[in-house]
Amino acid sequence: MNDLHGLRALVTGGASGIGLATATLLAERGAQVAVLDLDPSTAPKPLLGFTADVSDDASVRAAVAAAVEALGGLDILVNNAGIGAAGTVEDNPDEQWHRVLDVNVLGIVRTTRAALPHLRRSAHAAIVNTCSIAATAGLPQRALYSASKGAVLSLTLAMAADHVREGIRVNCVNPGTVDTPWVGRLLDAAPDPAAERAALQARQPHGRLVSADEIAAAVAYLAGPAAGSTTGTSLAVDGGMAGLRLRPA
Ligand code: NAD
């Protein structure tokens, strides 16, 4: 049931981190995969790269149309592109709120809008959104990012309700702290990156960062026939961070 041969997938933000791991795994399982990214050049073959900015509707429409043409249709959409922001409500100016919500929330809306006519023609249509434990965990210093991912969670549920009768499933994954270039950049900005990494690992209930491959496996499950009766759910892949109600020692 993990076999994805015959299915065609599009992964936004597919040139790095979670998106790249997901696109790679979907392809390994037999799907034809296109990635949509600001810079898709780092996505290796057989992934098909398409340049687009999810905050620009015209570029999304053009890239989705080109990807669907190259793939010969579309069965799986992974809305993964996203950006971060640190701080409390006092720290982020309005422009930053608009920017992050534009990419993290409206980016999903734009890509989904462009993809839906094609997904309706699929017999195995699925959408997986990359959310975050920030949607529900009440993380400090992440007001804007958390609000954006809270919106992604609500949007996932609403989209699942709107399209269930059309045979289009919609789910999301809620990653914890994942070892991607994004987190690497944050660690590199610390005075002592190695010590910061050790401290970050120690804060995880299971004692290590989540791997991008672990998120990819969850996305591939939700996107494929094994999850054929699963829609409107969020799957936490976070070492227990959100569900166990543990606090750092
Ligand atoms: P990453 O920075 O390694 O990769 C993100 C990719 O998205 C990049 O290739 C980037 O070019 C692309 N991208 C960014 N803005 C874009 C835009 N406007 N249009 C098109 N592409 C764009 O990040 P990652 O850690 O792999 O994160 C991917 C997703 O996972 C994000 O939605 C993020 O919020 C979510 N997430 C990450 C973590 C984590 O700990 N890394 C945790 C929870 C959720």
What is the predicted pLDDT for the residue at 246?
64
Catalytic (active-site) positions: 145
Please give the average per-residue pLDDT across 60-76, as a whole number.
98
Say if residues 89 and 145 touch (Cβ distance below 8 Å).
no
Residue 249's pLDDT is what? 52
Q: Residue 247 pLDDT more than 90? A: no
- Please report the sign of the dihedral spanned by the C-alpha atoms of residue 64, residue 100, residue 156, residue 41: positive
- Ligand 1 centroid–CA 210 distance in Å is 15
Q: What is the pLDDT of residues 159-204, one digit of tens each?
A: 999 999 999 999 999 999 999 999 999 999 999 999 999 999 999 9
- How far apart, in Å, are the Cα atoms of 210 and each of 78, 222, 223, 231? 19, 18, 20, 24
Asked if 40 and 15 count as a contact pair (C-beta separation under 8 A), the reply is: yes
**Model pLDDT for residues 2-53, shown as the tens digit of each residue:** 899 999 999 999 999 999 999 999 999 999 999 999 999 999 999 999 999 9
Q: Are 175 and 234 in contact (CB under 8 A)?
A: no
SS3 49: strand
ipTM of the complex: 0.99
pLDDT for 242? 86
The alpha carbon of 219 and the centre of ligand 1 are apart by a number of angstroms equal to: 14
pLDDT of residue 136: 94
Ligand 1: which of 11, 24, 83 to mutate, most ligand atoms within 8 Å of CB? Answer: 83
- The mean pLDDT value of the chain amounts to 96
Whole-model pTM? 0.97
Tell me what pLDDT residue 199 has: 94
Q: What percent of the chain clears pLDDT 90, i.e. is strictly above it?
A: 94
Q: What's the gap in Å between 120 CA and the centre of ligand 1?
A: 27
Is the predicted pLDDT of residue 248 greater than 70, yes or no?
no
Give the integer Cα–Cα distance in Å for 8 and 32: 5
Bridge-partner residues for 8, per DSSP?
32
Q: Which of 11, 12, 18, 111 to mutate for ligand 1's pocket (most ligand atoms within 8 Å of CB)?
A: 18
Tens digits of residue pLDDT in 146-158: 999 999 999 999 9
